[in-house]
Structure 1
Amino acid sequence: MKKHINKLFAVFAVALLGASCTDDGDLTTLSTVNFAGGIEASSTTIVIDADNNFQTVTTLSWQDVAFPVNAPVTYALEIDIPTDTLGANAWANAQRIEVGEAVLSKSFLGKDLNTIALALGLQYDTPGQLAVRAIATLDRAVYSKSIVLNVTPFELMMYMPGQYQGWNPETAARLRGIEEGIFQGYATFPEGQLEFKFTPKKNWDTFYGSTGGDGIAENDDDNLSVPAAGTYQITVNLNTLTYSAVPYAYGIIGTATPGGWDADTNMSYDHVAERWTYTGDLTPGALKFRLNDAWTINYGSANGESGELANGTVVLDNSGAHTIEESGNYTVTFAVDTPPATATYTVIKN
C-alpha cells in the first residue's frame, strides 16, 4: 500500500512540475523578443527646402514586434547623431518621438525633421547624418537596429528691415516659418522708430508694404508700423496678406530687480543675437524670468545658482530663483531653448 502511495505522489509531482513549465512559457521575461527586421525609410537622403518644408520628406516603417502577451505594443523613435549612439552614454541626447500603440510607421514633414536636425547640431545648408532607431515597449523596451538618414537642413525665413535697425535687410530681424506661408519673430522698436517692411530675402528685390490696417501687398511703398515703442511678436501671413504686431516681452522679476515681486522689469529683444537683454541696476536678492507680466510662462533656477554666471540654465515653471549677491550694474541675457522646457541665461556685473 505504501508503495502505491509513493508512486501516486511521484506522478503528482511530475504533473505539477509540467504545469509549472507550461505556465512559465507564458511569461514574457523568459522569452526573447526583438524586431524581426530593421527600419525602412521611403527616402534616406533628404534635402529640406522651401518647396518641401510643409510636405512629407520621408516615412519610416517597421514590422510589428511579437511579444508573448496579447496586448498593444507602444512604439517610439529615437533620433541622434551617429557618433552619439556609441559608448556608455549612447543615445543619451537623442530626440524621442512618440508614435503610438500598434502604429508601425511615422512620416516627417520637412519642417519637423528640420527642427530635429538643427536641435541635434546639424548646420544650415550643410549635409549631415542622423541615426534613427525604433523602440517597442510592453513589459520591457526592445530596440531595432538603427539606420542613417542623410539630411541637409535649411532656414525658412522672412526679414523685417525698418527704422529700428537702419532699413538694412542684411541685419534685419528674422521671422521663422511656423506654418505654410506664416512667419513669426520679435523686435524691439525704440521711440520714433516704429516703421518697417517685410522682405523674403536679405535684399530689396521683393518687399511687402502696407495697404492699410493689417493688410500687406507685394512691392507696396507704404510702410508698416507698430502703434508705440516697445517689443512685439510680429506675425506675417502670406496666405491672407495680413500681419499682426502683439506686445510681447520677457522680463526679470524678484527682490533683486527694480520692481521686486510686484512688477516685471521688461527686457529688450536683441534681434541679432536672438536673445532678451537687460542692462541696469540689481540689488542682493532673487531673480526670475517670466513672459508678458504673468506667471503663466516663467523660468526659475533648479540648482540655486548665484552671483555672476555665464550660460546658466533655468527651467520652465521651476519655483527656484537665481540669487544676486552684490549690488551693482548688471547685464542679464535670456534665450529660450529648443525644446522650451529650459532656457539659457547669463548674469554679468558691469
Structure 2
Amino acid sequence: MKKLTLLFIAFIAILSFTACTEDDDFTFTAKPDPDGIAFMNQTANTYTLRAPNTDNLAERFVWNEVDFGVQTPVNYELQGAGKEAFSNYSVLGDVTENNLAVTVGDMLELANEAGLDNDPETDAPNSGNIYFRVRAYVGTDAANVVEQTSDILSVSVTLPESSEGIELKRELYLVGDATAAGWNNNNNNTPIFRDGENDDIYYFDGRFAGGDGVEGFKLLESLGNWQPQWGINDGIATSSAILDDDPQAFPVADDAYYSFTIDVADGTYSFESINVTDAPTYMSIGIIGDATPGAWDADTDMTQSTFNPHIWYATNFVLTDGEFKFRANDAWDNNWGNASEALSGKAGLGSSDNMPAIPGTYNIWFNDLDGRYILIPQISE
C-alpha cells in the first residue's frame, strides 16, 4: 500500500511539472490592429510661433488606442520632422497614453529643420509646414517588435518677422459666451489691458454677459489658437501650458459690469462687480497727434464696440515718429494722455501729457472707463 501511495504522489508531481512547463512555454502572438492608428484632434489652420512663448503649449496631439491582441501595454512614439519624407525626425515623446503635449519650442525646432526663420533680412521663408506621425508598438527586442505607424500629418506654422524697435509681448484675449466674441477664437476678440510696467499683470473693466446657462470666459494668448488658454483650476488662475490640460472658465453670475485683474505670474486674480451708471457714453473717440494720419489737426475715429460702448478699437493703425493722444467727440473737452511710451498703460483723463509713439502698425484698443489702452503690433507674416 505504501508503494502505491508513493507511486501516486510521483505521478501527480510529474503531471504538475509538465503543466508548469507548458504554462511557461505559452506565449501571446501580437498582430497589427486592423483599424490602424490615426490622429483624432483637430489642428489649427496655422500655428504662430514666437520665441518668447517657447515653453507654452502649442498643441496636444491625440490618437486612437491600438489593440495588438496581447496583454501588455502599448507604447506610442510621437515623431516630428521638418520634411515630409521623414528621412530625419525627432522623437517628441514615448508614452503609454494616447495623447502628448507639444510646446511652441518643439515646433520651432521642427520649423528650423524645415528651413524657416523670422529674420526679414534672409531669403528663408517665415511660413511653411512641419510634419507629425505617431508610431504604436509592443516589444523591446528589435527582432520581436510589432508596430504600426499613422499617416503623416502636415501642420502649417508661421514665425512672425520681428521689426526693429517693436517688442512683442504676451497678449491675452477674451473668449467665451460671456464675452463679445463668444466661443470663437478669432472673432475680433477684445484684449485685456497689460500693465505698463509689469508685463504679468492685466486689467479689464467692462461688461460680461453672465447669467443662467452661461459658462463664462477664458483668455487666449493668440487669436485663432486655443492653446495656450487661461482659466481657473481649484480657484487659482492657470493656463493649459501649466496644467497640461484645459482649465475651467472664469464664471460670471450676472450680465453686468465687472473689474477683472489677473497676475499670471502667481495665479492670483480678482473679479468684482462695478457700477458704471454715472460713466459718460461718448459719441466718438479718436486718435490724434503728429504720429497719426491727421496730425494735430484731425483725429482718426476708432470703432465703438457694439457689445460694450466703453470699448474702442482701431485695426492696422499706422503710427509714425511723434506723439499721440485719445480724445472724445472730436474736441479737447475730454482727452486722455500720459508720458509713457509703453505699448500699454493707463492714460489720464485731462492729462496734458502726450504718448510718444514707436513707429509701426498696430491694433489699438482703448477703454474710456479707466483710460487703459493697449497697442498690439501687427507684424507682416
**Same structural fold, with TM-score higher than 0.5 when normalized by the shorter chain:** no
Task: State the TM bucket, normalised to the shorter chain.
Answer: 0.3 to 0.5
TM-score for both structures, normalised by structure 1:
0.36
Q: Which has the higher contact order (CA 8 A, sep 6+)?
A: 2
TM-score for both structures, normalised by structure 2:
0.33
